[in-house]
Chains A and B, each alone.
Chain A
Amino acid sequence: MGRTIRLSSQTRAVLSAFLERASQWRYGYDLSRETDLKAGTLYPILMRLSDAGWLEARWEEPSSPGRPPRHMYRLTQDGRAGARAATKDARARSTHPVYNEV
């Protein structure tokens, strides 16, 4: 809880996807399709966000018998605030680019 998060472009993409439907529970595969990230990239990000307390996760009750439950994720209050700040920061940077190289 409260761990700092490395905000890569992929992490920002995941956070943006969460923010679009901030109150809804989301599935891994749906997030993967929305962000165009592979499972190998997406799940480490979800794990980091969860460890940092930005995400809550739970297992969905199976909708039909015999069907395995799915893992779902949602932003926490901290996560929403952090995600908004992160995406805002990214937008500001893209509007006012900083040129470090000549």
Chain B
Amino acid sequence: MRRFFFTPIRMKAQLLLMRATNALPQEQREWGRAVISELNEISGFWPSLEWIAGGMTAMSKAALHNVLHNVLPNILTGAWRKQPGQEPPYATAAGIGFILLLVPFYFVSASLLNQWGIRWFFAPIEHWLSRPGQAAAFNIISPVILLGTLLCSVLLNLATLVSVVREEEAGGMVRVVKLRVRSWNLAAIGLGLLLTVVLLGYAFVENFGTRVRL
């Protein structure tokens, strides 16, 4: 009989990890469960942790590969629309949308908190800006990254919610715009638009201040 450790903590960790594998694409879940089930054969805290970390890294890479090569092209090209009865990938679009919003959300929150005297979050950005060469690079790169991620998030979620279809009506073909209501996708769009307004507002105030001419 091999080493077999069924401690309550290990069992709880395994159950949690098994649940986490549900976030993986269908075809990779089995592999995720395979990694976790092997934990029963491993003794010791660090070897077990190393095994979990390795397995989860492999599964995350596979999931990312799947998102980049299958899910995103599927949403962006509208390929899912061509399959009859296929539901739009709402959850995936919302998930990717919120991940894309992380960077602008951090930047806007850190800047606002900095204005209100909480400087801890803005410190890394300030440190970066304190060097002349890096500040110049930041001024060029940051609008592209911030507005780019915001635009991608909003468009991605709009693509799943809005569709234009041709339908027969009164003997002729008409184009109908359909809008689906999904709370998480709408939340991603709403947050994306809010952050865009704040960023553009800030850029406007910063660059187009009133000049008094006498």
The residues of A with any CB-CB pair to B shorter than 8 Å are 27-29, 32, 38-44, 46-47, 57, 66-71
A interface, by DSSP: helix, strand, loop or mixed?
A: helix
Instruction: Please determine whether A68 and B37 come into contact, CB atoms closer than 8 angstroms.
Output: yes
Instruction: Please determine whether A27 and B41 come into contact, CB atoms closer than 8 angstroms.
Output: yes
CA distance A40 to B14 in the complex (A): 17
Cross-chain contact of A39 among B14, B28, B30, B58 (Cβ < 8 A)? B58
Jot down 25 A-B pairs with beta carbons below 8 A, ordered by A. A27-B38, A28-B35, A28-B38, A29-B38, A29-B42, A38-B54, A39-B35, A39-B51, A39-B52, A39-B58, A40-B57, A40-B58, A41-B54, A43-B31, A43-B55, A44-B61, A46-B31, A47-B58, A57-B30, A68-B37, A69-B37, A71-B30, A71-B34, A71-B37, A71-B38
Q: Is B176 an interface residue (CB 8 A)?
A: no
Least CB distance, B4 to chain A, in whole angstroms: 8
B interface, by DSSP: helix, strand, loop or mixed?
A: helix
Cross-chain contact of A47 among B37, B42, B52, B62 (Cβ < 8 A)? B62
Q: Is B87 an interface residue (CB 8 A)?
A: no
Instruction: Please determine whether B34 and A68 come into contact, CB atoms closer than 8 angstroms.
Output: no
B57: which A residues are within 8 A, CB to CB?
A: 40
Instruction: Please determine whether A70 and B61 come into contact, CB atoms closer than 8 angstroms.
Output: no
A57: which B residues are within 8 A, CB to CB?
A: 30, 34
CA distance A69 to B34 in the complex (A): 9
Instruction: Please determine whether A44 and B58 come into contact, CB atoms closer than 8 angstroms.
Output: yes
Instruction: Please determine whether A67 and B40 come into contact, CB atoms closer than 8 angstroms.
Output: yes
Instruction: Please determine whether B50 and A38 come into contact, CB atoms closer than 8 angstroms.
Output: yes
CA distance A46 to B59 in the complex (A): 12
Instruction: List CB contacts (< 8 Å) of B15-46 with chain A.
Output: 28, 30-31, 33-35, 37-38, 40-42
Given known pairs A29-B42, A47-B62, A71-B30, the reply for A39 and B55 (CB within 8 Å) is yes
A41: which B residues are within 8 A, CB to CB?
A: 54, 58
Q: Is B53 an interface residue (CB 8 A)?
A: yes
A44: which B residues are within 8 A, CB to CB?
A: 58, 61-62
CA distance A38 to B62 in the complex (A): 16
Least CB distance, A69 to chain B, in whole angstroms: 6
Least CB distance, B208 to chain A, in whole angstroms: 51
Least CB distance, B120 to chain A, in whole angstroms: 34
